Amino acid sequence: MSTFELFWPALAGGLLVALVAGPLGSLLVWRRLAWFGDSLAHAALLGVGLSLLLSIPGWAGIAGVCLVVALLLGVLLQHPELASDTLLTILSTTSLSLGLIAVSLSDVRVDLMAYLFGDLLSMEASDLPWLFAGTILLLGLLGWQWRNLLLASINEEMAEVDGVAVGRLRLLLLILLALVVTAAMKVVGVLLITALLVIPAAAARRLSRTPEQMAVLASLTGMLAVCAGLGSSLQWDIPLGPAIVVAAAAAFLLSRLPRMSS
């Protein structure tokens, strides 16, 4: 088997995840909701633990837990009794701890590092049709509600005056985020998912004049980071997930150079 045949599923899977992470990450950056990504990413490990304990497919456990946490966040944030960062920290650390406990109670031996930092090289060609279909679905939903999501990102009160259902949009955003986290977990792992969402969007923000440009550039930046990370991992035998994040961080630093030199 050639190197290309061995690694092309990983490359294709990483590119698909980065493609949809671009516009979604841009919305998180605009709305200053990066913590939401962290909370759902940590909840993903609880999904892994429950899937092992209940002997169900891993993706089903991860998606199920992430969706439940997304719905819970949507409800709690509509009636806040605590500051959002406090609430998110409690949910994030609790779900991560419960996930580690669930994994430890399972009789199945797992590579915990793969879940924490990703295992993109385990991607198989049979995974790609489902991932491609999910990417098209998520991009379609984002495109359908793009204008309303932008209005809510700029000013929620103004959006409500214009008749936008802000609460439902926030819930939709969280559900989309939960689905992307489920897919991205294999690429960069629980601890680095938020980086794949936020860093390319932050890099694109400096170079964009319109929200649409930022979303496209964020996707391209993430895709370049996947390519650079995969190449670096193969060349120097370094962990792939962290290599992708470092490549994205390098793109962010390059995007700041004009301002730093001015």
Task: Give how far Cα 63 sits from Cα of 67, 88, 172, 229, 251, Å.
Answer: 6, 19, 15, 26, 30
Tokens, residue 142 = 């984002």
The 10 Å Cβ neighbour count of residue 124 is 9
Q: How confident is the model over 151-161, as pLDDT tens digits?
A: 887 777 777 77
Q: How many CA atoms lie within 13 A of 38 on its CB side?
A: 17
Tokens, residue 220 = 């391209």
- The domains of the chain are located at 3-257
pLDDT at 185: 81
- Ramachandran category for residue 210: left, alpha or beta (phi over 0 → left; psi -120 to 50 → alpha): beta
pLDDT at 120: 83
Residue 31: which pLDDT band, with cuts at 50, 70 and 90? Answer: confident
Can you say how many angstroms the Cα of residue 80 is from the centroid of all Cα atoms in its chain?
A: 25
Tokens, residue 81 = 């009794």
pLDDT at 261: 45
pLDDT at 36 > cutoff 70:
yes
Q: How confident is the model over 179-223, as pLDDT tens digits?
A: 888 888 878 888 788 889 999 999 999 889 899 999 999 999 999
* Domain with residues 3-257, CATH architecture: Orthogonal Bundle (1.10)
Tokens, residue 207 = 């170079």
Can you say how many angstroms the Cα of residue 251 is from the centroid of all Cα atoms in its chain?
A: 18
* One-letter identity of residue 212: E
User: What would the DSSP string read from start to end of 137-198?
Assistant: HHHHHHHHTHHHHHHHHH-HHHHHHTT--HHHHHHHHHHHHHHHHHHHHHHH-GGGHHHHHH
The 10 Å Cβ neighbour count of residue 113 is 12
Which has more confidence, 227 or 87?
227
Which has more confidence, 153 or 251?
251
Q: What is the average pLDDT across 73-87?
A: 71
Which has more confidence, 49 or 75?
49
Mean pLDDT, all residues of the chain: 84
* One-letter identity of residue 43: A
Q: Which residue has the tokens 């671009």?
A: 22
DSSP-H helix ranges across the chain: 3-31, 34-54, 58-78, 84-105, 112-117, 128-144, 146-154, 156-161, 166-188, 193-205, 211-236, 240-261
Which has more confidence, 22 or 121?
22
Nearest to 31 by CA among 80, 77, 65: 77
pLDDT at 260: 47
Alpha-carbon distance 105 to 108, whole Å?
9
pLDDT at 79 > cutoff 70:
no
Q: Which residue has the tokens 């516009």?
A: 23
